[in-house]
Amino acid sequence: MLNITAARRTKRQTVELNMAPLIDMVFILLIFFLVTTSFVKETGVDINRPAASTAVSKEKVNILIGVTNDNRIFMDKREIDIRAVRANVERALAENPEGGVVIVADKESLTGIAIKVMDGCRLAGAKNVSLAASLRTE
């Protein structure tokens, strides 16, 4: 019996750390954060927004329409015609019926173009249509 206990004492036990479950957990967390993250949409053009002291931030905006200083209209980083605003907004609202529309018009653009874009959005069925402005800091 002495030989067995002496052999157990002198025998070294190796400890192994299995990395596979840890890597699986990290990938699952990565996928979770990618799925739950809301991505920022852009109009695809640089717009010089007018400033307003009463501007407020909108949380849930899914449809952005840009109007440049030379009165061109952009949606999803591509130029669209004024007559195609309604169809494009209807398609976007079909994907997300609760989505809000924000018109990001340059301060040098014509007001009539922004009004036509707003009318197209409302005719498409958008209930929440807003004009974007920068917050004025005085």
Angle, CA 97 vertex, CA 41 and CA 80 arms, to 5°: 50
Angle at which helices 85-95 and 111-123 cross, to 10°:
50
CB atoms within 10 A of CB 20: 7
Q: Domain boundaries in the chain? A: 2-36, 51-135
Using CA atoms, how far apart are residues 75 and 65, in angstroms rounded to an integer? 5
- Which amino acid is present at 106? D
| Best CATH choice for the domain 51-135 from the list 3.40.50.10610, 3.40.50.300, 3.30.420.270, 3.40.630.30 | 3.30.420.270
User: What does the pLDDT look like over 84-124, one tens digit per residue?
Assistant: 999 999 998 888 888 888 888 888 888 899 999 999 999 99
Torsional class of 41: left (φ above 0), alpha (ψ -120 to 50), beta (otherwise): beta
Which of 60, 54, 67, 40 has its CA nearest to residue 134? Answer: 54
User: What does the pLDDT look like over 20-74, one tens digit per residue?
Assistant: 888 999 999 999 888 777 665 666 666 666 767 666 666 666 788 999 889 899 9
Q: What pTM value is reported for the model?
A: 0.61
**The length of the chain, given as a count of residues:** 138
